[in-house]
Homo-oligomer: A and B are copies of this chain.
Amino acid sequence: MSSKQNRTRVTSHDVAALAGVSQSAVSRAFTLGSSISDEKRERILEAARKLSYVPNSIASSLITRRSKTIAIILGNIDNPFYILVLKAFIEKLQESGRQVFTFTVDPKSSADDAIMRVLGYQVDGIVLTSAQISTRTTSLCLDRGIPIILFNRYIPGSDASVVRCDNVGGGRLLAEAFIKARAKRFAIVKGDPMGTTSQDRVQGFTERLLEAGIARSAIQEIEGNSVYDDACKAVLQAYADGAAPLPDAIFGVNDIMAMGAIDAIRHRLGARIPEDVMIGGFDDIPEGRRAPYELTTIRQPIDEMVDETLKILDVAAEEGRVQADRHHLAPTRLIWRKTIRRPT
């Protein structure tokens, strides 16, 4: 079926020769909507098939200055929420004939290195989730007409576009659920202290509690570092051996930390949920819906957020320029399951 290692690759010239046309005709045959007769296109495509010709996208990118690839920089790949986001981006971009460069970066360190690298690959856009970026790098991208979108995070003073959900509002929603359930003493398992996502959720939550007359001293803050293990350990450390009495309600600033808190409380501390302590999360990842958790949480509309991001990318691609500082705020809503008592 296949020939021996044919060292020399097949180019549009080879196809042109076989089909008896010019090299530019071959190019046109592969470009939808270019002026070429159907008859000729068919003949060229046939020749291409015979030779197993695949157009060289690298050469094409060099000249068109668009690579049909988007870079996605992930800060916390251990959080299933961001896998959901990654999956949504990959699938939707694939559908529209684009591919994605996936990078991971320590949430605490800067994404600048990764960005400089993809800059050389002429990516058509950069999506950044939970990672830092300098304003210098941002304007470098923007100057070159490469849109950069902060997904679920923002950087004050940055020109990058941002797409995020209403983290403050979500925090408030959860606070209200706890208040209605008559909780008096609270704990918050916080995520990355540098990230606006965690900050905003904590702020909205606390704000609403204070409005309801809860004393600040009745709200304990615990560092969960955005991951299951740390959240689990932190809760354990805070309440093991009666170090402190268990609070009435715990807010896990994301679902995966809420799950860590649940496991610590139920399996290590031997308390019941929601009878002894109530727990609320944020994100609504599928894992939280499973039988051992049935987590009451705040849902982020991933699809809407991803679509909105794609829209910004598309506009940039069509107009050939970046519209700086677009800002989309998606609504959140409370999903009742079983970790918060529901007032009758």
A residues adjacent to B (C-beta < 8 A): 1-6, 9, 52, 54-59, 61-62, 67, 69, 77, 80, 83, 86-87, 90-91, 94, 99-104, 114, 116-122, 135-136, 139-140, 142-145, 228, 259, 263-264, 266-268, 286-287, 290-292, 321
Contact = CB atoms under 8 A, between A and B. Distances in A.
Contact of A103 (B62, B99, B139): B99
Contact of A117 (B58, B99, B143, B287): B99
Contacts of A321: 5
Contact of A292 (B90, B91, B292): B292
A126 to B, nearest CB: 13
A77 B67 contact: no
A120 B268 contact: no
A104 B121 contact: no
A54 B112 CA distance: 13
**Chain A interface helix/strand/loop/mixed:** helix
A328 B2 CA distance: 25
Contacts of A144: 9
Contacts of A3: 143
Contacts of A58: 58, 61-62, 67, 120-122
A91 to B, nearest CB: 6
Given A91-B104, A263-B290, A263-B291, 10 more contacts: A3-B143, A54-B120, A77-B87, A86-B102, A90-B102, A100-B102, A101-B102, A228-B286, A264-B291, A266-B291
A10 B101 CA distance: 23
A99 B87 contact: no
7 contacts: A4-B143, A86-B102, A90-B104, A99-B117, A102-B102, A263-B292, A268-B291
Given A90-B102, A139-B1, A143-B3, A54 B119 contact: yes
Nearest to A321: B5
A90 to B, nearest CB: 5
Given A90-B104, A292-B292, A120 B1 contact: no
Given A83-B83, A143-B2, A291-B266, A94 B103 contact: yes
Contacts of A104: 87, 90-91, 94
Contact of A120 (B55, B62, B114, B142): B55
Contact of A143 (B6, B140, B268): B6
B69 A77 contact: no
Nearest to A71: B99
A59 B62 contact: yes
Given A2-B142, A102-B100, A57 B121 contact: yes
Nearest to A290: B263
A263 to B, nearest CB: 4
Given A101-B69, A103-B94, A143-B6, A120 B263 contact: no
